[in-house]
Amino acid sequence: MANNDRCLFCRIANGEISARKVYEDDDVFAFEDINPQAPTHVLIIPRKHIASMDDLGDGDAAIIGTTLARAADIARTLHLNSDGYRLVVNTGEAAGQTVFHVHFHILGGRNMGWPPG
Ligand code: 5GP
Ligand code: ZN
């Protein structure tokens, strides 16, 4: 499915719900997280509605690769790359996924603990 009318992140990418846009192109949309967990906290999503990493199909390899490449571009544009940054993909409820449209958290601007909570 290319889009889901009831999905919050599809609606943000469509412009139906406002968000602080960081980057967009034909394949991906990136915006600031409404509840930032670091000085920089950007979410990047493929425009294609995929509920979670557990819903990826063989045909999704290219779009996920593109999304990751654009995440790296955004991190460089925001100068997160010099000190380092973290990409997070919560998958499923026990991992903390609350929005079921696959998204990569780009977190930077502070030191990160390991292991994550
Ligand atoms: P998850 O918990 O699924 O890994 O991440 C969902 C993220 O979406 C959370 O960090 C949450 O703060 C963010 N979020 C939820 N609703 C909205 C919204 O309406 N706008 C924006 N910009 N971020 C949202
Ligand atoms: Zn969606």
In a domain, 46, yes or no: yes
Helical (H) or strand (E) element with 106: strand 104-108
Tens-digit pLDDT profile for residues 4-62: 889 999 999 999 999 999 999 999 999 999 999 999 999 999 999 999 999 999 999 99
Paired tokens of 15: 């412009």
Which of 98, 100, 102, 106 has the most ligand 1 atoms within 8 A of CB, as the residue to mutate?
A: 98
Using a 6 Å cutoff on CB, does residue 92 contact ligand 1? no
CA of 78 to the centre of ligand 1 (A): 20
Distance CA 29, CA 13 (A): 6
Per residue, what are the HEC states of 13-72?
Answer: HHCCCCCCEEEECCCEEEEECCCCCCCEEEEEEECCCCCCHHHCCHHHHHHHHHHHHHHH
- Model pTM greater than 0.95? yes
Say if ligand 1 is within 6 A of residue 15 CB: no
Domain that holds residue 74: 8-108
Q: Say if 117 falls within a structural domain.
A: no
- Is residue 116, in this structure, part of any structural domain at all? no
